[in-house]
Amino acid sequence: MTIFIGNASVAKRLNASQAFDDTWNTASDLENELEQKRAKSSSSSGISSSATSSSSTGSKDGQWSGWSEWSTCSRTCDGGIMQQIRRCYNKNGCKGESVRYRICNMQPCPEQQDFRAHQCAAYNDVPYDGTLYTWTPHYDYVEPCALTCRGRPAHLHLGDSSSSEAEGVEDPEHYDDHVIVQLSARVQDGTRCRTGSLDMCIQGKCQRVGCDLKIGSTKKIDSCGVCGGDSSSCSQPLYYWETAPTTQCSVTCGGGYKMSQPICRNRVTGVEVADSMCSGPQRPEPSVLLCNTHICPPRWITDDWSPCSRLCGPGYRERMVVCAEENNGIKTTTMKKRFKLSSMNS
């Protein structure tokens, strides 16, 4: 039985250390970091921090301070976030944003691992309700930037080296005895909102990211592989949609069904790529596919033994035995036999 726990406060019982790349849980954390950088820069140049502060607080309209330096990147690889902040010195408020972001360190990580899976796995060694769980991502499409994880009791996970769980992918065949828990109200900055997407979670909110890697951009890869193109620069699209199964077949023979969903592939390399690389209007709908349509081997089907033919003395019991084949849910009888069993009632 799968149990969903949506309250983020339960994760506080875990007290797990978040051993991730540098990030900022609050605006004051970011301000402290930037203040330290300003102080270090000022001391090395022989300028007092107060002079530096006063020189950066003014702006054209006298309301906003100047923008701070860019913070350190929240991740060292695979896409993180840098931030700048500014202060409003108008008691009635200022127009505009006090913080702005940009993407950084987009180079691939040396060891491929899903960043969300890494955050879930950080809780593997911390008991939850007295039990150790192995945590993998559970994608909550209502709250994509919350750290929601699926936990499987560790003692059930031992010896199970299935590639799906090792890569942080949900395995629909093993949903029993799992719990789904929101371990944190938000994931780390730079976490993708969903698989196959460039959109990123920033301060707990999903932000659109275009193929030009700019936050808020709506640019997409056209069918020729050109960012922001109109698919007119090539005769054959570089990226194409392919339908791939996502579940096991419902039966092993005789005709069953399995679900499929579209994935985007590179026509040259055959590698699966982000969905945004393929044409959105041409994306096929998820579908149901036939599978294992071969005929099942014949098998014997037996009835129960009948009551004894006599209440006392020699008698017999009998039952029907049928050899049957099944195809597409229809059983076909190929042979019937009636067997008798002698019985002695006293």
What's the chain look like in SS3?
CCEEECCHHHHHHCCCCCCCCCCCCCHHHHHHHHHHHHHHHHHHHCCCHHHHHHHHCCCCCCCECCCCCCCCCCCCCCCEEEEEECCECCCCCCCCCCEEEEEECCCCCCCCCCHHHHHHHCCCCCCECCECEEEEECCCCCCCCCEEEEEEEHHHHCCCCCHHHHCCCCCHHHCCCCEEEEEECCCCCCCECCCCCCCEEECCEEECECCCCCECCCCCECCCCCECCCCCCCCCCCEEEEEEECCCCCCCCCCEEEEEEEEEEECCCCCEECHHHCCCCCCCCCEEEEECCCCCCCEEEECCCCCCCCCCEEEEEEEEEEEEEEECCEEEEEEEEEEEEEEEEC
pLDDT at 156 over 80: no
pLDDT of residue 175: 45
pLDDT at 52 over 60: no
pLDDT of residue 34: 58
Q: Is the dihedral of CA 219, 84, 189, 207 positive or negative?
A: negative
pLDDT of residue 6: 52
Mean pLDDT calculated for residue range 152-156: 84
Give percent above pLDDT 90 in the chain: 29
Confidence category of residue 105, pLDDT binned at 50, 70, 90: very high
pLDDT of residue 10: 42
Query: Is pLDDT larger for residue 271 or for residue 44?
Result: 271
Q: What is the pLDDT of residues 208-242, one digit of tens each?
A: 999 899 999 999 888 777 888 887 887 778 888 99
pLDDT of residue 214: 93
pLDDT of residue 327: 66
Mean pLDDT calculated for residue range 302-314: 88
Q: Which of 45-49, 106-110, 243-247, 278-282 has the lowest mean pLDDT?
A: 45-49
Mean pLDDT calculated for residue range 36-63: 51
pLDDT of residue 323: 85
Confidence category of residue 134, pLDDT binned at 50, 70, 90: very high
Mean pLDDT calculated for residue range 34-43: 59
Per-domain residue ranges for the chain?
1-219, 235-291, 299-345
Q: How far is CA 1 from CA 4, 152, 175, 180, 204, in A?
A: 10, 11, 7, 11, 30
Q: What is the pLDDT of residues 281-301, one digit of tens each?
A: 889 888 888 888 888 888 888
Confidence category of residue 187, pLDDT binned at 50, 70, 90: very high
Give percent above pLDDT 70 in the chain: 70
pLDDT of residue 174: 43
pLDDT at 167 over 50: no
pLDDT at 157 over 70: no
pLDDT at 334 over 80: no
